[in-house]
């Protein structure tokens, strides 16, 4: 047994692994900036295309730069025929598994796959942002036995995503909702999936590999998977009057209420308010106020946890919006992934800019120097 002792940072809690220019998070104040701009301003005043430019290039675009990025996104909304076949072959899987597999397959058809220059990474990041939307929608339709819908080049990224899913051009409110959702999910420092993407990039693997890693990591219920779990929980509760009893039951059994708590935020996640307000308005407009009422009642039931720094996070209200938009629950995490691709790309760009292999240590606590016993002599 090793005798030296070390300070373990389990889960890498509170460890700074590098410097960044991507986003600033103050978990105590509940503040989030992308490249210096407050998330509240970006959610209210910007568009996903503009935020993608801001993240990838470091400043807000002028009109010409924005038009160019928009044209790039629009011109890369197609995927090779072979990738449609991959989607079809895997169509019974969870949409996150299909997305991960199809993005992985795209690497084989991308002539720039191994171009790790900053321009190459930006170009591929934008291409993957568009292609991921096409994959998610093609899969959504394939599993219903329906053919994919060709993109509408007159539509924004968010509106076109909804169009390729349903075949109907969304109204302005719906398109804006989706757009805000993508903005709110676009970047978030060294969260688990971005960190995983950075680890992959730190070996000097390529962007496709890093984004496949990010998608795989995002799927878990402690990360992006929470959005899917929140609406399952709301359905199970069924009535606002039952929320308190439900919370008591789950917490009494040492379970967790999904959509609450965060590794960094000990105040309310600043992204949550935009989704809460929009979810409330949408519920009222559609005559389905019960979902936000159930979620509000859960927030009340969790009030004693606020003193411990456990508040709602971004996933809590995101699910209710998708649900009201009639989007199936298993697409909630892929939608999160779609918003996050510019953020993953930026993390990879930063990693490449000043690369160092990310390789921590594990403190060994197993037996030492055991005698190797031949198989015939083992009990
Ligand atoms: C996000 C999360 C994994 C962060 O975890 P973390 O920083 O490692 O914190 P811990 O898991 O150590 O939790 C600290 C304490 O708060 C409690 N806690 C954290 N989140 C909780 C939740 N959602 N419900 C109930 N209790 C919670 C833990 O049980 C733990 O209590 P203890 O100290 O008595 O053991 C955690 O809050 C969680 O599981 N949330 C639910 C899933 C979710 O919404 N994820 C999306 C994040 S954006």
Q: List the structure tokens of 314.
A: 């971004």
Asked if 123 and 66 count as a contact pair (C-beta separation under 8 A), the reply is: no
Q: List the structure tokens of 134.
A: 């096409």
For residue 247 and ligand 1, the question of a CB distance below 6 A is answered with no
pLDDT at position 191: 97
| Dist CA 68 CA 64 (whole Å) | 6
pLDDT at position 290: 92
In this predicted structure, the answer to whether residue 258 has a pLDDT above a threshold of 70 is yes
Active site residue 262: yes
| Dist CA 223 CA 378 (whole Å) | 44
Q: List the structure tokens of 31.
A: 């503040």
pLDDT in tens, 280-330: 999 999 999 999 999 999 999 999 999 999 999 998 999 899 999 999 999
Q: Calculate mean pLDDT across residues 191-218.
A: 98
Domain 23-220+329-353 shares a fold with domain 225-324: no
* Exposure letters 83-111 (e unless 16+ CB within 10 A, then b): bbebbeebbebbbbebbbbbbbbbbeebe
Ligand 1 atom showing the smallest separation from residue 11 Cα: 8
For residue 179 and ligand 1, the question of a CB distance below 6 A is answered with no
For residue 302 and ligand 1, the question of a CB distance below 6 A is answered with no
For residue 260 and ligand 1, the question of a CB distance below 6 A is answered with yes
Torsion of CA 218, 219, 220, 221, to 10 degrees: 100
Local confidence band at 229 (pLDDT 50, 70, 90 cut-offs): confident
Q: Calculate mean pLDDT across residues 335-339.
A: 98
Ligand 1 atom showing the smallest separation from residue 314 Cα: 48
What's the order of all strands across the beta sheet hosting 31-34? Answer: 23-26, 31-34, 37-38
Active site residue 315: yes
For residue 324 and ligand 1, the question of a CB distance below 6 A is answered with no
For a ligand 1 pocket test, name from 261, 269, 270, 308 the mutation site with the most ligand atoms within 8 angstroms of its C-beta: 261
Write down the domain spans for the chain. 23-220+329-353, 225-324
- For residue 343, with 0-12 CB atoms within 10 Å meaning exposed, 13-18 middle and 19 or more buried, which class applies? buried
Ligand 1 atom showing the smallest separation from residue 191 Cα: 48
Q: Which residue has the tokens 């009990």?
A: 379
Task: Determine phi and psi for 7, rounding to 5 degrees.
Answer: -85, 115
Nearest to 342 by CA among 230, 200, 184: 184
Strands (E), the chain: 23-26, 31-34, 37-38
Atom 13 in ligand 1: which residue has the minimum CA distance? 261
Report CA(346)–ligand 1 centroid distance (Å). Answer: 27
pLDDT in tens, 6-45: 999 999 999 999 999 999 999 999 999 999 999 999 999 9
Please name every residue paired with 227 in a beta bridge, in sequence order, or none if there are none. Answer: none
pLDDT at position 3: 61
For residue 340 and ligand 1, the question of a CB distance below 6 A is answered with no
| Dist CA 259 CA 322 (whole Å) | 15
In this predicted structure, the answer to whether residue 227 has a pLDDT above a threshold of 90 is no
The sign one gets for the Cα dihedral 295, 32, 228, 74 is positive
pLDDT at position 1: 52
Nearest to 181 by CA among 224, 152, 144: 224
Q: Long-range contacts: 375-378, Cβ < 8 Å, 24+? A: none
In this predicted structure, the answer to whether residue 132 has a pLDDT above a threshold of 80 is yes
| Dist CA 267 CA 276 (whole Å) | 16
Q: CATH fold of 23-220+329-353, please? A: Citrate Synthase; domain 1 (1.10.580)
Domain 225-324 is classified in which CATH homologous superfamily? Cytochrome P450-Terp, domain 2 (1.10.230.10)
For residue 49 and ligand 1, the question of a CB distance below 6 A is answered with no
Ligand 1 atom showing the smallest separation from residue 264 Cα: 7
Report CA(250)–ligand 1 centroid distance (Å). Answer: 13
């Amino acid at each position: 047994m090793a005798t030296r002792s070390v300070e373990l940072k389990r889960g890498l809690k509170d460890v700074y692994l590098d410097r960044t220019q991507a986003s600033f998070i103050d978990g105590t104040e509940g503040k989030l900036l992308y490249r210096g701009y407050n998330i509240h301003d970006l959610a209210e005043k910007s568009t996903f295309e503009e935020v993608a430019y801001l993240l990838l290039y470091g400043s807000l675009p002028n009109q010409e730069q924005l038009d160019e990025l928009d044209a790039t996104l629009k011109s890369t909304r197609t995927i090779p025929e072979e990738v449609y076949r991959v989607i079809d072959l895997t169509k019974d899987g969870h949409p996150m598994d299909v997305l991960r597999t199809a993005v992985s397959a795209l690497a084989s058809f991308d002539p720039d796959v191994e171009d790790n220059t900053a321009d190459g990474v930006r170009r591929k990041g934008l291409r993957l942002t568009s292609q991921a939307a096409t994959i998610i929608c093609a899969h959504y339709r394939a599993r219903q036995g329906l053919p994919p819908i060709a993109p509408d080049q007159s539509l924004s990224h968010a509106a076109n995503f909804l169009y390729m899913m349903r075949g109907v051009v969304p109204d302005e409110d719906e398109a804006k909702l989706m757009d805000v959702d993508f903005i709110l999910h676009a970047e978030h420092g060294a969260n688990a999936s971005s960190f995983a993407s950075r680890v992959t990039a730190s070996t000097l693997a390529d962007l496709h590999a890093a984004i496949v890693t990010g998608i795989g990591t995002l799927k878990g219920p402690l990360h992006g998977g929470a959005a899917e779990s929140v609406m399952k929980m709301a359905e199970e509760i069924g009535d606002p009057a039952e929320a308190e009893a439900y919370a008591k039951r789950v917490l009494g059994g040492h379970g967790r209420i999904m959509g609450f708590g965060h590794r960094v935020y000990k105040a309310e996640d600043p992204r949550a308010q935009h989704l809460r307000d929009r979810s409330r308005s949408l519920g009222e407009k559609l005559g389905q106020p019960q979902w936000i009422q159930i979620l509000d009642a859960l927030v009340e039931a969790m009030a004693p946890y606020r003193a411990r720094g456990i508040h709602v996070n971004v996933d809590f209200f995101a699910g209710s919006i998708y649900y009201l938009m009639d989007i199936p629950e298993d697409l909630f995490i892929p939608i999160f992934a779609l918003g996050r691709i510019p953020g993953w790309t930026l993390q990879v760009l930063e990693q490449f800019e000043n690369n160092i292999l990310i390789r921590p240590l594990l403190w060994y606590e197993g037996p030492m120097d055991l005698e190797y016993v031949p198989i015939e002599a083992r009990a």
